[in-house]
């Protein structure tokens, strides 16, 4: 199967979630594949692909945590390490919500994870992704067991650079198109 045929296959099946580009691109397809895919998908809305994970934390009530995350079990993997503690990993970014008996349950780390942590623990969660490299996203969130939360977005760099170097934010061309 040549790169063009693979591009068509990917376009037809990606919307259904059957493939992601790394599973389809043959090792030697290179630039030809990307040009074909670009021609075929020009003007078509792209999907966002991302990955997420947390740092390791100590869990006080493991059973309660697992029950709390049960509705997100297909999206969130719980990774345990005897020395480091427990981490959370998502192959498609943090889930937004889950359907539980016809009701939408929104994922909220402050509700679904933090109450089950050891006192004094801080949950740090990271997420990065892209949409056909039109833009890249990166977010970090940190929650403590007292109910405090701080967030950071990679797009904040424009404001920070403008302030640090004394130039207007409008002078930057954004890393997106």
Say yes or no: 54 and 36 in one domain: no
pLDDT value for 38: 40
59 assigned to some structural domain? yes
What is the separation, in whole angstroms, between the first and last Cα of the chain? Answer: 31
Q: Is the dihedral of CA 108, 111, 112, 114 positive or negative?
A: positive
Q: What is the pLDDT of residues 42-84, one digit of tens each?
A: 555 678 889 999 999 999 999 999 999 998 888 999 999 999 9
How far apart are the C-alpha atoms of 31 and 68, rounded to whole Å? 45
109 assigned to some structural domain? yes
What is the C-alpha radius of gyration for the chain, rounded to an integer number of angstroms? 20
Residue 159 confidence (pLDDT) above 50 = yes
- Predicted TM-score (pTM) of the model is 0.69
Q: What is the pLDDT of residues 86-128, one digit of tens each?
A: 999 999 888 888 888 888 888 999 999 999 999 999 999 999 9
Say yes or no: 126 and 156 in one domain: yes
């Amino acid at each position: 199967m040549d790169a063009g045929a693979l591009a068509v296959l990917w376009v037809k099946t990606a919307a259904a979630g059957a493939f992601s580009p790394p599973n389809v691109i043959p090792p030697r397809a290179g630039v030809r594949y990307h040009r074909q895919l670009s021609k075929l998908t020009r003007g078509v809305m792209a999907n966002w692909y991302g990955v997420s994970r947390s740092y390791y934390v100590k869990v006080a009530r493991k059973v309660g945590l697992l029950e709390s995350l049960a509705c997100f079990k297909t999206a969130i993997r719980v990774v345990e390490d005897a020395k480091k503690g427990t981490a959370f990993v998502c192959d498609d970014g943090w889930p937004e919500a889950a359907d539980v008996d016809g009701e939408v349950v929104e994922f909220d780390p402050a509700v679904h994870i933090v109450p089950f942590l050891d006192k004094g623990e801080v949950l740090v969660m990271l997420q990065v992704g892209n949409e056909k490299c039109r833009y890249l996203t990166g977010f970090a969130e940190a929650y403590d067991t007292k109910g405090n939360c701080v967030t950071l977005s990679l797009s904040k760099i424009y404001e920070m650079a403008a302030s640090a170097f004394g130039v207007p934010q409008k002078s930057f061309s954004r890393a997106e198109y």
